[in-house]
Each structure stands twice: as C-alpha cells, then as structure tokens.
Structure 1
Amino acid sequence: MATLIRTLTEHSDDVNCCAFSSSCLATCSTDKSIRVYSLNGFTELPYSPLQGHTYAVHCCCFSPSGRTLASCSTDGATVIWDTGDGRMLAVLGQPTGSPVRVCRFSPESTYLVSGAADGSVVLWNVNSMKLYRSGSVKDGSLVACAFSPSGNFFVTGSSCGDLTVWDEKMRCLHNEKAHDLGVTCCDISSHPVSGGEHTSRYFQMASCGQDNKIKVWFIFFGDFLGVYSDASSYLSVLTL
C-alpha cells in the first residue's frame, strides 16, 4: 500500500530525475535548476534551488556519503555541489562539449562518470576534480549508468540499445545489443552471486528499454584473481 505524503511543485518545467541521500531529496528539471529538500517534512533547504546550469538539467545523484551532489546538463557540464551549504565545488566540462545526459558516483566516491549525447563517457577523479580517463561508444547517446558494488567496473546504456561494460581504467570489456529501441535505465545488485567453488562471482543487473522489456543479466566478474574471462561470457540474459 502506498500513501502520498507530499506533492512538491516548485519546479516550473519537466522534472527529469530525483535522488535520495540519507537526509535529503534532490530533483532536477528542464527549468535549469536543482532543488534539495530535507526528508524532515520535505521542506526546501535554505540554499535551494541550486542554479548554475544554463540549459536543462537531465540527471542528479548524491555521493554515497551524501556530502556532495552531482548534476549534468545540456550545457555540456557536470557540476559538483556541497550539500552542506550549496556551494558549487567544481564544473566538469565534457571534453567534447556535448550535452551530458547521465552522471553517477562510484561506491567509494573515488570516481564520477559523465555520459553524453555524442556517446562520450568520462571518468572523473573526484579528489582532484580532474579528468582521469575517457572513452566513447559507437552509436547513440549515453542515457544510463550503474557501478558494481566494488566500483571496479561499471555499465553504460545508450539510446541505440547497447549495454557496455567498462573497468576502472576505462577499458571496454564488453558490448551487447540489449534493447532494440534504446536503453532507458540500468542498475546492478549490491550483492554478488557465487559461481560455486569460490572461483567466480556474478553480479545481477537489470536493464529496461523502449522495447517494453526488462532484461535481467548475470555479469561474470572473473576468478579469485580478478581475471576476466573471454568476452563471450561477460553477459548472459533472462528476458522478462
């Protein structure tokens, strides 16, 4: 059973994303702003709205600690904010200048991924606020991203329907056509599944797309030495 607690109406245009931390709710909108609410009564924090983007804001996410918030926009920038006082800590410009569609922190807040409309993907070092590695997919906009619980690999999803597995050095480990009409979202389970004999681990991932399908995947992570198998065994799928 679900009960409506509060309806928030402060945004003046489409609300594109929402994200929780342990104490706050953040929302971002085509109206160029990010709003941050306390979970205690869902009142807007004094420093909200956060304004700095010059075009629509597509995605926002908290770091695991909740101390920082990232947002990304059509303006080609990913901005990192201090959730204590709303200060803008860094503006990370996509090297290609392309609109940024998705951003995501790694589990230890070591890295931040930004994925853009031209298929470029950047791994930022959060401590230095500088570019660490970059790569790209062949076709489509990057619209989805999910990190493994350990943070040593992540998956991106594109508008052309591909899922791509990357390691922390931005090596493309595998690419798979997943959804005919484009990926819309993906997420990885926080708990690995044992492959037996303590020699391998699998992570469960769900992806969804504009083909009206949800696909549940097993991502093979290698043996006890952390060595990857051949690419053919990275992803196996159960379609729902």
Structure 2
Amino acid sequence: MDKLGFVSLTVWSMKTWKAMTVLPLGEDPPAITSLCFNHNGKILAAATTDGMIHMFDMSVGLQITGWPAHDSAISSVLFGPDETSIFSLGIDGKIFEWSLQNQGKILWSRNCSRFCNRDNSEHRHEMALDANGKRLLATSGSVRAPIYQG
C-alpha cells in the first residue's frame, strides 16, 4: 500500500528490471488473477477475484475503463485476435467474449463448467487462441479439454 492507502500494480522494464510505472488500483482492491497486454503493449487488461475486468492505458498509466464480467473470480483474460474484443474465463467455467467497442456487450459465450473443478481452488484455468484466432482452448480439470471453433 502506498501513502494514500492505494494498492498499486508495478510494471517492470524487461531490459533493466526497473519499475517503469505504477498503476493505481484504488483502495482495498480485489486480487488480480490474470493480466494480458495487447499486441503493442499500450493496453493492459487485468482480471480480478471480484469478477471485474480493468483496462489500463500504459502510455499515461491510468485505468481507462472497467466492467463487471463475471459473478465470481476470473481465472483468465486474453485479447481477441483483432483486438476489438477480450475473452474472460470465470472460475464458474463460463467463457465470455466482450466487445471493446461497446463495453459490456457479450459477443459470444460458452459454459464449460463441466470441465472446470470449482472445488479445487489451487487449479486455475487458462485459455489460449490459435494464431488465426479461430480456435479457443480452455484448460480442464478432467482428461478432456474443450476447444471451441469460431
């Protein structure tokens, strides 16, 4: 916590490992569970335990937007292939694709809760997109993992 009682997120330079900027997260914020930069590193998406997605403009070091994405914690967040959307995977197994041009609008959703074991809090689920952005893979708590094709 800093002097004002705000928790912050520190971004480090890969070349020098010195702090480049500190992003303010507000008073008593929830824990960050997943982070993802866009293709050029100018926008940072942060997902939290309270189900929110926060977007930061790295050139000014401030939050530019945020919205409630899930009713519970988010396990994973990643930018869509053309960066006009962002995907989120909640611990409840729900996957949403959110529009970045129309904040809060769901473009696509799936429920993969049968693959996610909510009782095992030590296992955090992740997602990945193929190079063309046509297939989305989610990790699984079973011997099968879902792959969704768009």
TM-score bracket relative to the smaller structure: 0.7 to 0.9
Taking CA–CA contacts closer than 8 Å with sequence separation of 6 or more, which of the two structures ends up with the larger relative contact order? Answer: 2
1:11-37 CA deviation, whole Å, 9 max, x = no partner?
xxxxxxxxxxxxxxxxxxxxx643212
CA contact under 8 A between 1:144 and 1:156: conserved in structure 2?
Answer: yes
CA-atom RMSD, angstroms?
A: 2.3
Greater shift, 55-64 or 32-41, is seen at 32-41
Sort the Cα spacing of 1:128 and 1:62 in 2 relative to 1 into closer, same or farther, 3 A.
same
TM-score by length of 1: 0.51
Match of 1:220 in 2: none
Match of 2:121 in 1: none
Aligned 1:102-141 pairs, distance under 5 A: 102-130=76-104, 131-139=106-114, 140=116, 141=118
Percent identity, aligned pairs only, is 20
2:42 is the alignment partner of 1:93:
no
1:145 is aligned, of 120, 127, 130, to: 127
Residues matched between the structures, number = 136
CA contact under 8 A between 2:23 and 2:62: conserved in structure 1?
Answer: no
Unaligned stretches of 5+ residues in structure 1 = 1-31, 169-240
Match of 1:35 in 2: 10
2:50 is the alignment partner of 1:75:
yes
CA contact under 8 A between 2:51 and 2:73: conserved in structure 1?
Answer: yes
CA distance in 1, matches of 2:64, 2:140: 28
Aligned-pair CA distance for 1:63: 0.7
The structure number with the bigger radius of gyration is 1
1:159-180 CA deviation, whole Å, 9 max, x = no partner?
4454111234xxxxxxxxxxxx
Aligned-pair CA distance for 1:56: 1.4
Sort the Cα spacing of 1:62 and 1:161 in 2 relative to 1 into closer, same or farther, 3 A.
farther
CA distance in 2, matches of 1:91, 1:80: 6
Match of 2:4 in 1: none
2:32 is the alignment partner of 1:57:
yes
CA distance in 2, matches of 1:81, 1:121: 22
